């Protein structure tokens, strides 16, 4: 690219250009492609003058470390075919208690869903998991949190037993099956919200 007016460089190149002391006297000559400056000297494009500005020491740039969220491999039940994530908390078990799983499966069938449509995560097995890790791994469009122990930082704003709908995402924080089993009022309140989830 040929620039006729050196003042136009400030609009095209908005970064610092470094020249070595050898290049300062030979500004009209084209530098070889593989040329590496021995001692970089910053020249700001906006300061184009008949005589180049030479700094005494190069400016040190400290790279900013990139903090990445570690990816977790979650152990879960189901195939997550429909983006329906169910969070429970059962210490000492891989997934859910068998009786509770049977009750949940029955509830899902009433909504014309199967275990293949959902992912059931026992949070007791993933104590260090964060909301961001869970959402990036499962990418849920629906979330069911069973019991207070399933609440992570970021989910504490959910209103108990009240469906949350936001940007095509639905979430329900409700009783655990341990609390609901044998309690008709809690089961009925759960089902009323679950129908909409």
Q: Which of 55, 50, 47 has its CA nearest to residue 20? A: 55
pLDDT at 7: 62
pTM of the entire predicted model: 0.64
pLDDT at 108: 96
pLDDT at 57: 58
pLDDT at 76: 95
Could you tell me which residues come within 8 angstroms of residue 18 by beta carbon, excluding any fewer than 6 positions away?
A: 37, 40, 41, 42, 43, 58
pLDDT at 156: 87
Which CATH superfamily groups domain 76-194? Uracil-DNA glycosylase-like domain (3.40.470.10)
Let me know: does 53 contact 43? Beta carbons within 8 Å.
yes
pLDDT at 71: 61
Q: Which of 129, 165, 160 has its CA nearest to residue 146? A: 160
The domain segmentation of the chain, as residue ranges, is 1-66, 76-194
**Residuewise pLDDT in 10s, the chain (197 residues):** 566 666 655 656 666 665 566 655 555 555 555 544 455 555 555 555 556 555 565 556 666 666 665 567 899 999 999 999 999 999 999 889 999 999 999 999 999 999 999 999 999 999 899 999 999 999 999 999 999 999 999 898 899 999 999 888 999 999 999 999 989 999 999 999 999 99
pLDDT at 81: 96
Q: Where are the alpha helices (DSSP H) in the chain?
A: 9-12, 21-24, 98-110, 131-138, 177-180, 184-194
Retrieve residue 22's tokens.
Answer: 């050898």
């Amino acid at each position: 690219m040929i620039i006729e007016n050196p003042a136009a460089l400030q609009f095209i190149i908005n970064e610092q250009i470094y020249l070595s002391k050898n290049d300062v006297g030979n500004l009209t000559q084209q530098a070889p492609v593989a040329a590496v400056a021995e001692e970089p000297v910053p020249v700001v494009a906006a300061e184009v003058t008949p005589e180049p500005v030479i700094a005494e020491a190069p400016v040190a740039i400290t790279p900013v470390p990139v903090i990445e969220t570690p990816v977790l491999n979650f152990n879960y039940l189901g195939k997550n075919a429909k983006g329906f994530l169910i969070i429970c908390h059962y210490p000492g078990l891989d997934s859910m208690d068998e009786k509770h799983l049977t009750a949940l499966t029955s509830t899902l069938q009433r909504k014309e869903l199967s275990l293949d449509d959902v992912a059931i995560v026992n949070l007791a097995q993933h104590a260090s998991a964060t909301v961001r890790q869970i959402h990036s791994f499962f990418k849920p469009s629906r979330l069911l949190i069973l019991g207070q122990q399933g609440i992570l930082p970021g989910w504490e704003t959910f209103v108990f037993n009240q469906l949350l709908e936001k940007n095509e995402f639905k979430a329900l924080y409700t009783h655990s099956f341990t609390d609901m089993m044998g309690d008709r009022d809690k089961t009925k309140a759960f089902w009323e919200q679950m129908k909409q989830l």
